[in-house]
Amino acid sequence: MSFATEGRGGVGPVPGIGGAHTDTAAHDEVRAEDAAERAGAGQAAVGGGHPAISPCALVPHRLIHPLVPQVRLVSTSRFGKAAVSSRRSRVEAGAQAGEDTSVFYPRLLGSIGVRPHRTSSAAAYDGRMTRDQYTFDDPRTRYPVISPEVQQQPEPGLQSKMTPVPDLGEDTYRGTGRLTGRKALITGADSGIGAAVAIAYAREGADVALSYLPEEEDDARHVVELIEAAGRTAVALPGDLTSASFCRWLVEEAVAGLGGLDAIVNVAGKQVWQDGIENITDEQFDLTFKTNVYAPFWIVKAALPHLGPGSTIINTASLEAYQPAPDRLDYATTKGAINNFSKGLAQQLISKGIRVNVVAPGPTWSVLQVTLGVDPETLPEFGSSESPIGRAAQPAEQAPAYVFLASAESSFVAGETLNVNGGMVTP
Ligand code: NAD
Ligand code: MG
C-alpha cells in the first residue's frame, strides 16, 4: 500500500497559535475560518453545513459509506508501516542521543521532523515500564502542573500540534489482561481521553474499532500504531457522528471488522465556549446535541442487537453535568442529558445482562480545550485554578476508569457515574 503524507487539507496554522492573537477579534477570526472551512466542505456533507465526511487523502479508501456518494471513508487496520518505522527509528535515535523522550517534547520532535506525539519505547510495547498506573506517588505531582500557552486551532484540531502534547499513557499504561478478547468500539479515539482509553484497552487485550473525524487522521495513526504494537487489531472508521446513518454504518463496520462487539465506549464530544446564550447559534446548539447526545443514542440502538450478556456500555459525561460553567451552556446541558440517559438505560439493559455506566471527567488537558472549548485567555490556568488537586488531569489518568467499567471487575456496577475530577465534589 502506498500512503500520501502531505497535502491534506483541513486543520492548519491559525491566528492565535503561539499566543500572538488572543483577543476577541482573533477569537472571531478563528470561528470565521472554521465556518468558511465547513462551508467549503459542505458539498461532501451530510445534514447541511457540518462536514459529515470529508475526503481523506492519507489512507487507502476501501469502503464507502453507502449513503454518502462521492465521499470516501476508510476501514483499515493497517497504516503505512514504512512511515511508522521511520518515525520510530528517529525517536529512538533521539533517545540514544540522550534526549529525554518520556516528557513533553513537541518542539524537539518538530525540530527533527517527527510528528510531536508522545511515542518512545512504548511504540514497541512489551509491558515493561519503570513507572505505570500502579506506581504509588503524590497525586498532586504525579503529572506536571501545566500552564499552557495561549493557542488555538479550528475544530476538531490535532492533538499533535498542541503545546504541551497531552499524555495518553504511551509510556506508562501497563496492561494486565483485564479485557482479554473483548471487542470495543470507541468514539473520539484519535485523541485525548478516547485515545488514552483505546491504548489502554488494547494493552489489556481488547481489539478496538476507532471512530474519529477524517481531519484527525494524523492523530488516529498514532493510536492505531500503539494498538498494533500491543498485538491487537485496530479498525479505523473515520466519519461524522452527527449523521444518524453514519452512526449505524459505524456499528456495522465495527462488528464486521472486529468479528463482534461487546463494549461500546462513547467518548466523542463537542464543546465550544460562548459568553452568553445570545451567542450560541442554533447550529452550534444542534451540533453539540447531535455529537454528544444523539450519536450515543444512535450508536447504542444500532449496537444492541449485537451485544450479549456481559457486554458493557460506557458513556462520557463531565463535571459540567453537576457544575455547569456559564460559558458552556449547551455543552453542560448535553452532559447532564448523557448522565440521565445512561442511568435510565442502565435500568433497561441490566435485564439483558448489559451494564451501562458513565465516566465524568474533570478538567483534562486535551485538544478540545484549544479548539475554542474554553476561553483562550484562561488556558494558562487550565485545571490548576479549578481542581482541588491543583492541576489538570492528563488523558492517561482517565483511562483506568473506563477499563474498570468495561472489565468483569465491575460486574455489580450498573447505572453509576465514576467521577474522575481531582476532588471536585459532586452530588
Ligand atoms: P478530544 O478533542 O481529544 O476528543 C473529542 C473527540 O470527539 C475528537 O477527537 C473527535 O474525534 C470526536 N468528535 C467530535 N465531534 C465529532 C463528530 N462530529 N464526529 C465524530 N467524532 C467527533 O477531547 P477530550 O477532552 O479527550 O474529549 C473526550 C470526551 O471527554 C468528550 O466527550 C468531552 O466532553 C469529555 N470531557 C472532557 C473533559 C476535558 O477537560 N478534556 C472534561 C469532561 C469531559
Ligand atoms: Mg481528536
The one-letter amino acid at 170: E
- How much is the average pLDDT of 183-193? 98
Each residue of 181-201: b (16+ CB within 10 Å) or e? ebbbbbbbbbbbbbbbbbbbb
C-alpha of 75 from chain center: 18
Q: What is the dihedral of CA 111, 143, 394, 398, to 10 degrees?
A: 140
322 part of the active site: no
CB of 328 within 8 A of CB of 320? yes
Task: For residue 385, name the pLDDT band (cuts at 50, 70, 90).
Answer: confident
Ligand number nearest CA of 210 is 1
CB of 45 within 8 A of CB of 246? no
- How much is the average pLDDT of 230-257? 98
| Residue 124 pLDDT > 80 | no
Cβ–ligand 1 contact at 410 (below 6 Å): no
| Angle of helix 244-258 versus helix 295-303 axis, rounded to 10 | 40
Each residue of 214-224: b (16+ CB within 10 Å) or e? bbbbbbbbbbb
Lowest mean pLDDT among 22-36, 220-234, 238-252, 267-281: 22-36
Q: Which residue has the higher pLDDT, 295 or 104?
A: 295
| Residue 145 pLDDT > 90 | yes
Kindly report whether the global pTM for this prediction surpasses the value 0.85.
no
Cell numbers representing residue 408 in the block: 468483569
Task: For residues 297 and 302, give the distance between their C-alpha atoms in angstroms, rounded to a whole number.
Answer: 9
Ligand number nearest CA of 320 is 1
Task: Give the model's pLDDT for residue 126.
Answer: 80
Q: Active site residue: 125, 173, 322, 331, which one?
A: 331
Closest CA to 410 of 338, 360, 356: 356
Task: For residue 346, name the pLDDT band (cuts at 50, 70, 90).
Answer: very high
CB of 79 within 8 A of CB of 224? yes
Cell numbers representing residue 183 in the block: 471487542
Mutate to test the pocket of ligand 1, among 368, 370, 385, 389 (most ligand atoms within 8 A of CB): 368
What mean pLDDT, rounded, does the chain reach?
79
In order, the DSSP letters of 125-147 are: --S--SS-TT----TTTSS----
| Residue 142 pLDDT > 70 | yes
Cβ–ligand 1 contact at 166 (below 6 Å): no
Closest CA to 232 of 189, 203, 253, 261: 203
Task: For residues 230 and 262, give the distance between their C-alpha atoms in angstroms, rounded to a whole number.
Answer: 20
DSSP helix/strand/coil, 316: strand
Q: Which residue has the higher pLDDT, 76 or 123?
A: 123
Backbone φ/ψ region at 115: left (φ over 0), alpha (ψ -120 to 50), beta? beta
C-alpha torsion sign, points 55, 52, 195, 162: positive
Task: For residue 125, name the pLDDT band (cuts at 50, 70, 90).
Answer: confident
Instruction: Give percent above pLDDT 70 in the chain.
Output: 71
Cell numbers representing residue 186 in the block: 470507541
Ligand number nearest CA of 214 is 1
CB of 356 within 8 A of CB of 346? yes
Cell numbers representing residue 362 in the block: 474533570
Task: For residue 32, name the pLDDT band (cuts at 50, 70, 90).
Answer: very low
- How much is the average pLDDT of 395-413? 98
Task: For residue 116, name the pLDDT band (cuts at 50, 70, 90).
Answer: low
Cβ–ligand 1 contact at 318 (below 6 Å): yes
Task: Give the model's pLDDT for residue 345.
Answer: 99
- How much is the average pLDDT of 355-384? 97
Task: Give the model's pLDDT for residue 128.
Answer: 82
Q: Which residue has the higher pLDDT, 426 or 119?
A: 426
- How much is the average pLDDT of 262-268? 99
CB of 149 within 8 A of CB of 19? yes
Cell numbers representing residue 355 in the block: 451494564
Convert the pLDDT of each residue in 207-222 to its tens digit. 999 999 999 999 999 9
Q: How far is CA 403 from CA 3, 94, 177, 186, 266, in A?
A: 33, 32, 11, 12, 13
How many A from CA of 162 to the centre of ligand 2?
11
Convert the pLDDT of each residue in 77-96 to its tens digit. 333 332 223 323 333 444 44
Complete domains list, the chain, with CATH: 159-420 (3.40.50.720)
Task: For residue 122, name the pLDDT band (cuts at 50, 70, 90).
Answer: low
User: 80: how many CB neighbours lie within 10 A of its CB?
Assistant: 19
Cβ–ligand 1 contact at 373 (below 6 Å): no
Task: For residue 198, name the pLDDT band (cuts at 50, 70, 90).
Answer: very high
Cell numbers representing residue 146 in the block: 501545566
DSSP state of 353: T
What is the length of the chain?
Answer: 427
The one-letter amino acid at 243: S
Q: Is the peptide bond before 164 cis (omega within 30 degrees of 0)?
A: yes
| Residue 24 pLDDT > 80 | no
| Residue 320 pLDDT > 90 | yes
